Each structure stands twice: as structure tokens, then as C-alpha cells.
């Protein structure tokens, strides 16, 4: 018998049941501003689900607006950290929600952002540890978004640094870690080898090159999934791009998407930032 709901929720984070994950962060509306033109939010959500996304990541207020039927085949991750591009220190993340609120919203997981090398690293680490404790109590999976960002970071793509970062996430209680990629990409295998927990590659290729090739390379390096936001929701057809990435993550036969639900959309009003 299950002693915790965490295994059930972790299973819902992988549509194909293969413990691989394609997550779409949509928390940019707090950090940078709207992710779609007016009136196109629900259309974007339907496109992501139709394409085969395993889960979306939103803040608690946005989660309250979701229609129950929208996420029938897609997990809900509630993001607990925030900062804005207007802040004096954009690397200073603070907690704006808690695990209990995520449970009440029906979330399948929560996520917390930590910037290693930032001026407020200590507080962010303390927040991650506190959230991990609550996650254990409530049986809630925890995705740690841990990045090398701040005045003390010389090379954010250094494999040794990233190997350290994934261990920080694991040691403080995360179930998965989303982080930057090593360069060259094949050195991401070193990071994965050092990680006690599944590693999700963040964003897209740093040089803006082909996203499918990027996804193929990081999955070949041993990553257990992708967490891509901006490159997807700014695409001319998010559903088509998600479908291609789902095939990369799960294998060509791993996901069957209902593309009949898809209406191609061009999201032209996108603010700058990191996925």
C-alpha cells in the first residue's frame, strides 16, 4: 500500500509512463509579462495539451483560472518562486506560495527556483529546504529549478559547476532538477552521471539554434526530459513543436497526440527573457 501520494503524482508527470518528461514553464508572466496576446491564453493551453506536453508550470493565481477539462491529459505544476525584471536584483527569488496551496489546487508537483552564485543564495537554499520538508509531509513531488546565475559565476555552462548544482538540488530534497546545459552539449552526460535525481534540461540551445537537435542531444546525454517555455509559446504553431519535442523525449511511438484539437496560432507579442 502507498504511504504517500508522491509516486502517484510522479506518475502523472509522464504521459507515456516512461519516467521522461516534457514540461512547459508558463511562469514568465510574473517575471517578464504576458506570454500571449490578449485573449489567447486558453488557446495556447489547448495547443500544448494537444501537442502532448506532460505538464505545464504556472503560478498559483493562474492555476485557479484553469478549466478542469483543459488538463485532462496534462499535469499541473505550481511554481512557488518569483521575481520580476523590474527588481534591483533579478536573481533574488522569493517564495510566493506554499505546498498546502498547491495541494488545494490539485497540483501534481511544485517547483522552486534557486540561483547559485547570487547575492541571496543562502535564503533561496533555505527556502528550497523548507519546501522539500512540506513536500514530504504532503506527498508532493518537488522540481528544483537551480541555475548558476549571479556575480560569482564565470561560466554558467561549466560541467563541474553544473554537477555541483544538481547535487545541491538532490541533497536538499528535490525529486527532479531543472538546470542549464553544459557546453559542448555532449558534456551534459557528466552532469547527469553525477546526479542522484533525474535531470531536466532547461530552455533551448543557448545560441538559438535548432530546438529539436538540442533536445535530441540532451536526451542522448542522459537527461530525463526537457523544460521549454519561451521557444514553445512564441512558436508559430506551439502544438506542432510540442508534438515533435514529445517524440524526442518519449520516442516516436511514446505519445499519441490528438492534433485535431489544434488551432495553429502565432504568438507575436513575446517579451525577452530566459525560458
Please give the pLDDT value at position 271.
Answer: 26
Tell me the three cell numbers of residue 48.
500544448
Mean pLDDT of the chain: 91
Q: Is residue 93 flagged as an active site residue?
A: no
Question: 220-273 pLDDT, tens per residue?
Answer: 999 999 999 999 999 999 999 999 999 999 996 544 443 333 333 332 222 223
Give me the mean pLDDT over the 193-219 stretch: 93
Single out the catalytic residue among 6, 27, 46, 267: 27
Question: 51-94 pLDDT, tens per residue?
Answer: 999 999 999 999 999 988 889 899 999 999 999 999 999 999 99
Single out the catalytic residue among 60, 91, 147, 267: 147
Single out the catalytic residue among 93, 178, 214, 267: 178
Q: Is residue 147 flagged as an active site residue?
A: yes
Answer whether residue 133 shows pLDDT above 70: yes
Residue 139 region, left (φ>0) first, then alpha (ψ -120 to 50), else beta? Answer: left
How far apart are the two ends of the chain, measured CA to CA in Å?
A: 39
Q: Of 7-16, 64-73, 126-135, 150-159, which range is least confident?
A: 64-73
Tell me the three cell numbers of residue 152.
560569482
Q: Is residue 267 flagged as an active site residue?
A: no
Tell me the three cell numbers of residue 74.
496534462
- β-bridge mates for residue 179, sequence order: 201
Amino acid at each position: 500500500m502507498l504511504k504517500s501520494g508522491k509516486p502517484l503524482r510522479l506518475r502523472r508527470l509522464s504521459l507515456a509512463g516512461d519516467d521522461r518528461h516534457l514540461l512547459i514553464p508558463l511562469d514568465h508572466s510574473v517575471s517578464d509579462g504576458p506570454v500571449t496576446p490578449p485573449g489567447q491564453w486558453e488557446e495556447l493551453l489547448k495547443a500544448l495539451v494537444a501537442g502532448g506536453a506532460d505538464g505545464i508550470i504556472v503560478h498559483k493565481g493562474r492555476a485557479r483560472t484553469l478549466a478542469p477539462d483543459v488538463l485532462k491529459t496534462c499535469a499541473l505544476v505550481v511554481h512557488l518562486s518569483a521575481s520580476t525584471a523590474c527588481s534591483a536584483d533579478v536573481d533574488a527569488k522569493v517564495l510566493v506560495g506554499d505546498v498546502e496551496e498547491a495541494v488545494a489546487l490539485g497540483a501534481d508537483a511544485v517547483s522552486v527556483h534557486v540561483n547559485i552564485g547570487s547575492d541571496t543564495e543562502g535564503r533561496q537554499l533555505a527556502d528550497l529546504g523548507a519546501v522539500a520538508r512540506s513536500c514530504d509531509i504532503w506527498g508532493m513531488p518537488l522540481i528544483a529549478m537551480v541555475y548558476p546565475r549571479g556575480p560569482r559565476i564565470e561560466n554558467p555552462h561549466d560541467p563541474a559547476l553544473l554537477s555541483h548544482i544538481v547535487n545541491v538540488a538532490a541533497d536538499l530534497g528535490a525529486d527532479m532538477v531543472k538546470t542549464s546545459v553544459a557546453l559542448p552539449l555532449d558534456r551534459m552526460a557528466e552532469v547527469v552521471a553525477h546526479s542522484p535525481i533525474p535531470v531536466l534540461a532547461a530552455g533551448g540551445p543557448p545560441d538559438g539554434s535548432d530546438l529539436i537537435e538540442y533536445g535530441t542531444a540532451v536526451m542522448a546525454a542522459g537527461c530525463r526530459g526537457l523544460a521549454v517555455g519561451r521557444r514553445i509559446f512564441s512558436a508559430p504553431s506551439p502544438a506542432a513543436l510540442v508534438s515533435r519535442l514529445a517524440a524526442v523525449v518519449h520516442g516516436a511511438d511514446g505519445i499519441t497526440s490528438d492534433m485535431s484539437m489544434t488551432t495553429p496560432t502565432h504568438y507575436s507579442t513575446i517579451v525577452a527573457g530566459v525560458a
